[in-house]
């Protein structure tokens, strides 16, 4: 996987040799988290040679340019992705302020024995903020569609759950749930059910009084009982 190149790669004479990593690169068009296909592009990805001793923030611009990705580069990050048969699995996000050498153990643990790539995608905090903004600024059919999609979003990306609950995501759902009709509340309950499958989500729900109070109010109104949520 890691290959040592000869002299001349670095202009710094104190580092006469360097290691490189050649791998496939792709992007995931998740700028709108509610309409993301969740499949990396292109289907036939190009190869890119990373300098493993150079921090990734100094190389992501080149990855973005080669892929001609639609993302704003300042909102982008890199994530590992592998193919397990016909199944696409996303793995650890790479730290852009670190080198690949510093993250070598995590990379090899996830990719060993698999066909894999490094995927350019939108940063978690940017995607979460996009989710919250759309939920708070939508109504009618658009809001219903967004709430319906939220369960699948949580199911597809466990890392997003952690970011969601730490950025006022639950408060957003409760605000909508308190003013919405029963159909919207059902979608919110389904999203919460998926979120609570993760430790971060479960702890956040339990520890936030307004969430617990809202759930009790639904129990009293029989919404949860009618839909077999409890």
pLDDT score recorded for residue 5: 41
For residues 134 and 114, membership in a common domain is answered with no
Of the candidates 183, 128, 126, 189, the residue with the CA atom closest to the CA atom of residue 153 = 128
Dist. CA 123–CA 93, nearest whole Å: 9
For residues 41 and 116, membership in a common domain is answered with yes
Query: What contacts 85, CB < 8 A, 6 or more positions away?
Result: none
Dist. CA 178–CA 214, nearest whole Å: 8
CATH number at residue 98: 1.25.10.10
Query: Could you tell me the mean pLDDT of each successive run of 10 residues in the chain, 230 residues long?
Result: 40 52 96 85 96 97 98 97 90 97 96 96 96 92 92 89 93 85 86 92 90 83 56
State which of 67, 102, 122 marks the end of a domain: 122
State which of 88, 122, 156 marks the end of a domain: 122
For residues 156 and 174, membership in a common domain is answered with yes
CB 119 within 8 Å of CB 112? no
For residues 97 and 172, membership in a common domain is answered with no
Helix and strand numbers, DSSP H then E, in the chain: 10, 6
For residues 56 and 84, membership in a common domain is answered with yes
Dist. CA 189–CA 183, nearest whole Å: 10
For residues 7 and 113, membership in a common domain is answered with yes
CB 26 within 8 Å of CB 40? yes
For 176, the 3-state DSSP assignment is helix
For residues 105 and 213, membership in a common domain is answered with no
- pTM over 0.75, yes/no: yes
Partner residues linked to 122 by β-bridges: 76
For residues 49 and 103, membership in a common domain is answered with yes
The parent domain of residue 175 ranges over 126-226
pLDDT score recorded for residue 185: 87
For residues 96 and 8, membership in a common domain is answered with yes
For residues 183 and 220, membership in a common domain is answered with yes
Helix intervals (H) in 91-168? 104-111, 124-136, 140-156, 158-165
State which of 122, 151, 182 marks the end of a domain: 122
Q: Which two tokens stand for residue 136?
A: 């708070």
């Amino acid at each position: 996987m890691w290959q040592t190149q000869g002299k001349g790669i670095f202009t710094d004479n104190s580092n006469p040799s360097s290691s490189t990593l050649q791998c496939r690169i792709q992007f995931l068009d998740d700028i709108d988290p509610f309409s993301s296909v969740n499949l990396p592009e292109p289907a036939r990805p190009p190869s890119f040679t990373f300098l493993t001793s150079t921090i990734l923030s100094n190389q992501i611009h080149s990855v973005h340019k080669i892929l001609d990705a639609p993302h704003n580069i300042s909102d982008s990050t890199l994530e590992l992705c592998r193919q397990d048969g016909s199944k696409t699995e996303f793995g650890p996000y790479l730290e852009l302020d670190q080198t690949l050498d510093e993250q070598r153990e995590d990379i090899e643990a996830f990719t060993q024995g698999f066909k894999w790539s490094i995927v350019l995608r939108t940063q978690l905090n940017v995607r979460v903020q996009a989710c919250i903004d759309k939920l708070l600024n939508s109504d009618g059919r658009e809001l219903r569609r967004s709430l319906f999609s939220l369960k699948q979003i949580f199911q597809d990306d466990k890392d997003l759950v952690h970011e969601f609950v730490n950025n006022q995501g639950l408060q957003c759902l409760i605000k909508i749930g308190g003013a919405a009709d029963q159909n919207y509340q059902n979608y919110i309950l389904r999203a919460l059910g998926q979120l609570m499958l993760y430790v971060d989500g479960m702890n956040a729900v339990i520890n936030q009084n307004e969430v617990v109070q809202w759930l009790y109010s639904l129990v009293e109104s029989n919404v949860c009982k009618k839909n077999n949520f409890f």
